[in-house]
A and B are shown apart, each in its own frame.
Chain A
Amino acid sequence: MSAVLELDRLSLSFGGLRALSDLDLQVGEREVVSVIGPNGAGKTTVFNVITGVYEPSAGDVRFSAQSGSAESIAGRPPHAIARLGVARTFQTLRLFMNMSVLENVMTATYGGTKAMPWESVLRLPRARREEREARALAEDALSFFGQRLAGYRWDQPAYSLSYANRRRLEIARALATKPKLLLLDEPAAGMNPAETHEVTELIGRLADERGVAILVIEHDMHVVSGCSDRVVALDHGVKIAEGSFDAVSNHPAVVEAYMGRHPEDLAGAE
Chain B
Amino acid sequence: MSVDPQGPKVGADEWVARQAHRREYLPSWLGDAQRRAERIGWWPRLAIAGLAGLALPLLGLGGFQLQVGIDALVIALLAVGLNIVVGWAGLLDLGYVAFFGFGAYGYALLSSSQLGANGIHLPYWLSLPIVMIGAALLGLAVGLPSRRLLGDYLAIVTLFLGEAFVEFTNNVAPSKLGGPNGITGIDPIQAFGVQLLTNTSYFYLLVIVLVVTMAVLRLLEYSRTGRAWRAVREDPLAAAAMTIPVNRVKLSAFACAAMVAALAGTIFAAQQASVFPTDFDTPILILIYAGLILGGTGSIAGAATGALVVMVIYDGLLRSPAEASLLFYGLGLLTLLVKLRPWRRLAAVLGATIALGFAAHAIAAAISSSAVATGPQSSGWLGDGLRDWVIVPANPQTAGNVGFVVLVCLAITLVQVKGRWRTILLVPTIYLAAFVWETRLVVEPSITRQLMIGAILIVMMIARPQGLLGQRRVEVAT
Q: Tell me if chain B binds chain A.
A: yes
A interface vs B, CB < 8 Å? 51-53, 77-80, 82-83, 87-88, 90, 92, 94-99, 103, 106-113, 115-117, 120-121, 123, 127, 130-131, 134, 145-148, 150, 152, 156-157, 159-162, 165, 173-174, 176-177, 198, 201-202, 205
| CB closest residue in chain B, given A78 | B240
Cβ contacts A to B, 17 pairs, < 8 Å: A77-B245, A79-B244, A96-B231, A96-B234, A98-B474, A99-B230, A99-B231, A107-B228, A115-B223, A117-B256, A127-B223, A147-B8, A150-B8, A162-B13, A165-B13, A176-B242, A177-B242
CA distance A148 to B3 in the complex (A): 8
- Is the pair A110, B242 in contact by a Cβ cutoff of 8 Å? yes
- Is the pair A77, B240 in contact by a Cβ cutoff of 8 Å? yes
Which chain B residues lie closer than 8 Å to A109 at the CB level?
224, 243
Closest-CB distance, A175 to chain B (whole angstroms): 11
Closest-CB distance, A27 to chain B (whole angstroms): 18
CA distance A201 to B11 in the complex (A): 22
CA distance A104 to B11 in the complex (A): 21
Which chain A residues lie closer than 8 Å to B252 at the CB level?
117
| CB closest residue in chain B, given A96 | B234
Contact of B243 (CB < 8 Å), options: A97, A112, A157, A165: A112
* Size category of the binding interface on chain B: 35 or more
Which chain B residues lie closer than 8 Å to A120 at the CB level?
219-220, 223-226
B241: Cβ under 8 A from any A Cβ: yes
Contact of A131 (CB < 8 Å), options: B2, B223, B471: B223
- Is the pair B1, A108 in contact by a Cβ cutoff of 8 Å? no
B239: Cβ under 8 A from any A Cβ: yes
Within 8 A of A (CB), among B410-457: none
| CB closest residue in chain B, given A176 | B242
Within 8 A of A (CB), among B207-231: 216, 219-220, 223-228, 230-231
Which chain A residues lie closer than 8 Å to B256 at the CB level?
117
Which chain A residues lie closer than 8 Å to B8 at the CB level?
147-148, 150, 152
- Given A95-B238, A160-B16, A198-B1, answer yes or no on A147-B219 (Cβ-Cβ < 8 Å): no
Within 8 A of A (CB), among B244-280: 244-246, 252, 256
Contact of A123 (CB < 8 Å), options: B219, B241, B244: B219
CA distance A79 to B235 in the complex (A): 13
- Is the pair A131, B224 in contact by a Cβ cutoff of 8 Å? yes
- Given contact pairs A97-B234, A120-B225, a sample of 19 additional A-B residue pairs in the complex whose CB atoms are under 8 Å apart: A79-B245, A87-B242, A94-B235, A95-B234, A98-B234, A99-B234, A107-B228, A107-B231, A107-B242, A107-B244, A110-B224, A110-B227, A110-B242, A117-B223, A117-B252, A121-B223, A131-B224, A148-B1, A162-B13
Count chain A CB atoms within 10 A of each CB in B234, B242, B471, B478 and give the residue with the most. B242
CA distance A106 to B230 in the complex (A): 12
- Is the pair A98, B471 in contact by a Cβ cutoff of 8 Å? yes
| CB closest residue in chain B, given A161 | B13
CA distance A157 to B473 in the complex (A): 9
B58: Cβ under 8 A from any A Cβ: no
Which chain A residues lie closer than 8 Å to B223 at the CB level?
115, 117, 120-121, 127, 131
- Is the pair B7, A147 in contact by a Cβ cutoff of 8 Å? yes
CA distance A78 to B226 in the complex (A): 20
CA distance A93 to B223 in the complex (A): 25
| CB closest residue in chain A, given B234 | A96
CA distance A146 to B7 in the complex (A): 10
Which chain B residues lie closer than 8 Å to A205 at the CB level?
1
Which chain A residues lie closer than 8 Å to B7 at the CB level?
147, 150
Contact of B228 (CB < 8 Å), options: A77, A110, A116, A202: A110
Contact of B220 (CB < 8 Å), options: A77, A78, A87, A121: A121
- Is the pair B20, A95 in contact by a Cβ cutoff of 8 Å? no
- Is the pair A113, B224 in contact by a Cβ cutoff of 8 Å? yes
- Is the pair B243, A108 in contact by a Cβ cutoff of 8 Å? yes
CA distance A193 to B476 in the complex (A): 27
Which chain B residues lie closer than 8 Å to A80 at the CB level?
245
Which chain B residues lie closer than 8 Å to A202 at the CB level?
1
Closest-CB distance, B350 to chain A (whole angstroms): 41
B4: Cβ under 8 A from any A Cβ: yes
Which chain B residues lie closer than 8 Å to A112 at the CB level?
243
Q: Mark B1-27, 1 if CB is under 8 A from A, else 0.
A: 111100110011110110010000000
Count chain A CB atoms within 10 A of each CB in B1, B17, B228, B476 and give the residue with the most. B1
B286: Cβ under 8 A from any A Cβ: no
| CB closest residue in chain A, given B15 | A160
Which chain A residues lie closer than 8 Å to B242 at the CB level?
82, 87, 107-108, 110-111, 173-174, 176-177
CA distance A121 to B212 in the complex (A): 11
Closest-CB distance, A141 to chain B (whole angstroms): 12
- Is the pair B240, A90 in contact by a Cβ cutoff of 8 Å? no
